Amino acid sequence: MSKIVFITGATSGIGKACAEKFANAGCNLIITGRRNDRLLAIKKELEEKFNTEILTLNFDVQDKELVFSTIEKLEDKWKKIDVLINNAGLSLGRDSFLDANIEDWDNMIQTNVNGLLYVTKALLPSLIENEAHIFNIGSIAGKEVYENGNVYCASKFAVDALSRSMRVDLLKYGIRVTAIHPGAVETEFSIVRYKGDKEKADQVYKGMKPLTGEDIASIIFFTASLPQHICINELSVTPVQQASTYYFHRES
């Protein structure tokens, strides 16, 4: 699989797992993230381990001007992008609509929605030229709301809608668009949501075996490996012990 794969939010979790999976298959990578030290460490690790080439781009997807200017400066050899994985995203807080922090709302919308839009739009000429495959990482929270999920759910509903509309608008260019909607995945997600409170974060996965970043990366890799005429439009993926945003079977 000799391709160029562009991954946002590649410094941890699903993004990092995707980088490892595609690098192992011989792909060259463009990885982005806010933590440059982590980007450089991942680049060094994967280039040495898999003999592949990796370009790091240090930016926050919320920064529209920086996203566009950075992508515009890509060397020609890096513009032949075959796979885009819009993974950068976050949840902040678990508060009622009444008590929620508006700055948290802004941060989620700017990252989960606008960031996805900026990166995809900036890369679109390359994606069209290469009949690329776009993966948007949503959530089962984009399929059904839950108590105190408010704006996080809204942002992931937006990812679902954008994935569907991209599929329609880009149909004539041969671009595949796949929305991946995971349930409980044990990454830094809950630590970020609870703002560093590890005890609260650990309760999310208590009594169950959650998905891992590697699980989702394997699904993305399989989907990207299908013949060009096949498009899996969306996948909803949960641990066996989770049936929805509400229903869990936890072992005591």
Question: Which active-site residues does the annotation give?
Answer: 152
Provide the β-strand partners of residue 133: 83, 176
What six digits make up the tokens of 127? 């994606």
Q: Are 186 and 242 in contact (CB under 8 A)?
A: no
204 contacts 184 by C-beta, under 8 angstroms: yes
Helix-then-strand count for the chain, H and E: 9, 7
Q: 81: closest CA among 122, 44, 43?
A: 122
Which tokens belong to 118? Answer: 């900026």
Cα 170 to chain center, whole Å?
20
**In degrees rounded to 5, what are phi and psi of residue 15?**
-60, -45
Q: Which residue has the tokens 């329609």?
A: 168
Round to whole Å and give the CA distance between 125 and 85: 16
Kindly state the tokens that stand for 85. Answer: 């994985």
The neighbouring-strand residues paired with 68 are: none
